[in-house]
Amino acid sequence: DNVNNPYKCTHPSYQVHKVSSSPLVIYIQNFMTPSERQHLRQISSSTFRRSAVAGNSGAQRVGIRTSQSTSLPPSDPIARCISERAISFQGFDIHESQLEPLQLVKYAQTERYDFHTDWLSDPNYVTSFNGGNRQSSFFVYVHVSNDTTGGGTNFPLLAAPHDNKWCDLGILECDELYTNGVTFRPLEGNAIFWENLLPESGEGDPRTEHAGLPLTSGDKMGMNIWTRQMPLSEEARREDLPVDF
Ligand SMILES: O=C(O)CCC(=O)C(=O)O
Ligand SMILES: [Fe+2]
């Protein structure tokens, strides 16, 4: 960014396709532009560390995630622009303060994130300090190398949509003969959005279980955009919390 070419937040005309009504899952093509993705890779190149996992028994669960994570400074203009997009997508009713700092996660060959939910089951983490639970998730594919194989995002409990278009567009993994829920292939710039909590009770929806499948070759970077039920306290947004917290 310089004086002659100041950055201005504009939004790409993304395309949306409903995957499931219950739980609500929406696939979004072109959610993030190539220049945004490049910027995110640049500013994060030296800040990654081994991903943490929030859970009842941290030590036991930490092995299920072998990726590296970093959160973005909320003041970054591109992070702000993407946050604005995520709010507008959800119908504007969400306040900025309900978003966790945007999180990048990257995987090298063999790395993965085993089955989990993004909503937190441990009441110790579901506090008003932290804005309650995670109401919704976006997972955006920020970078996928040309030689990437594997590394899809699998939702074992979702019913796959039937139309061949999902396969023809390369969005879904359609090679597997057995039913294995839905596996999204990592496609740069595209995103999956879903709601984590049951509408009536606000309890975590077990059907949103998912995994980042192991990369068999190449590398992959994604972004998590998590919206909490309530505003996170200023401290919680400022604090250098464990990245998956
Ligand atoms: O890597 C993926 O495809 C999914 C990652 C994920 O579920 C997470 O970071 O919570
Ligand atoms: Fe997840």
237: which 2 tokens?
Answer: 């947004």
Residue nearest to ligand 1 atom 4, measured at CA: 212
Which of 69, 115, 139 is the best mutation target for the ligand 1 pocket, counting ligand atoms within 8 Å of the beta carbon and taking the most?
139
- Read off the pLDDT band of 1 (50, 70, 90): low
Q: What residue type is assigned to position 98 of the chain?
A: Q
The ligand 1 atom nearest the CA atom of 151: 3
More confident residue, 228 or 4: 228
| Residue 20 in contact with ligand 1 by CB distance below 6 A | no
Q: What is the pLDDT of residue 56?
A: 44
The ligand 1 atom nearest the CA atom of 224: 9
Q: What is the pLDDT of residue 2?
A: 61
The ligand 1 atom nearest the CA atom of 153: 3
Which of 109, 113, 149 is the best mutation target for the ligand 1 pocket, counting ligand atoms within 8 Å of the beta carbon and taking the most?
113
- Average pLDDT of the segment spanning 183-211: 97
CB within 8 Å of 116: residues ≥ 6 apart: 53, 64, 65, 209, 210, 211
- Measured CA to CA, the distance from residue 116 to residue 139 in angstroms comes to 14
**% the chain with pLDDT above 90:** 74
**Cα-based distances in Å from 140 to 15, 86, 153, 193, 198:** 14, 11, 11, 9, 23
CB within 8 Å of 93: residues ≥ 6 apart: none
- Distance from the CA of 13 to the center of ligand 2, in angstroms? 25
185: which 2 tokens?
Answer: 């292939």
Q: What is the pLDDT of residue 225?
A: 98
| pLDDT per residue as tens digits for the range 174-191 | 886 556 899 999 999 999
- Average pLDDT of the segment spanning 6-13: 95
Q: What is the pLDDT of residue 10?
A: 97
Predicted TM-score (pTM) of this structure: 0.92
Contact 193, 89 (CB under 8 A): yes
Q: What is the pLDDT of residue 140?
A: 98
Residue 56 φ then ψ, to 5°:
-65, -40
Interface predicted TM-score (ipTM) of this complex, two decimals:
0.99
Q: What is the pLDDT of residue 180?
A: 86
Q: What is the set of domains in the chain, with CATH numbers?
A: 15-238 (2.60.120.620)
| pLDDT per residue as tens digits for the range 23-42 | 999 999 999 999 999 999 99
Q: What is the pLDDT of residue 54?
A: 63
- Average pLDDT of the segment spanning 83-90: 98
